[in-house]
Amino acid sequence: MKLTILATAALLLPLSLVAPVRAENPAHVRQLIETKQCKGCDLTQANLASAHLAGADLRGANLKGANLSKANLEGADLTAANLEKANMTAAFINSADLQQADLSGANLSEANLMNANLEDAALDNAILPKGMR
């Protein structure tokens, strides 16, 4: 019995020492919400659903896997941003600059991309709004 408990404890100990998976930098999320200036920020997997980010400077920001569903990104600068696998469902991205952005695997269904600049953007496996396919 003691041997079983010791063996179980020995097997579980390494699992308890593994660091939790880190997502976004909380200070960067706060900076973005408060100032709308977050050039090069780490916003990986950040929950920014329904956030008002019109005119935000997100050039070169890492938004991989971020939730931007229903976010207002009108006129935002997302040049060279990493938006790989981001959820941008029903986001308002009107007149945003997405030049050289990585939108691979991003969900843009129902998003408003009117007048958005997608020049040289990577759209591999992205789910695009109807009419853009």
* 128: in domain: yes
* 60: in domain: yes
Domain that holds residue 79: 24-133
* 19: in domain: no
**CATH number of the domain to which 34 belongs:** 2.160.20.80
Q: What's the pLDDT at 43?
A: 98
Predicted structure pTM score: 0.82
* 34: in domain: yes
Q: Of the ranges 3-7, 41-45, 86-90, 100-104, which one carries the lowest mean pLDDT score?
A: 3-7
* 74: in domain: yes
Question: Total structural domains in the chain?
Answer: 1
For the chain, how big is the Rg over CA atoms in Å? 19
- For residue 108, the SS3 value is coil
Buried b (16+ CB within 10 A) or exposed e, 47-74: ebeebebbebbbbbbbbbbbbbbbbbbb
Give, as one character, the DSSP assignment of residue 17: H
pLDDT in tens, 6-59: 455 555 555 444 444 446 789 999 999 999 999 999 999 999 999 999 999 999
* 44: in domain: yes
* 51: in domain: yes
Query: By percentage, how much of the chain surpasses pLDDT 70?
Result: 82
* 125: in domain: yes
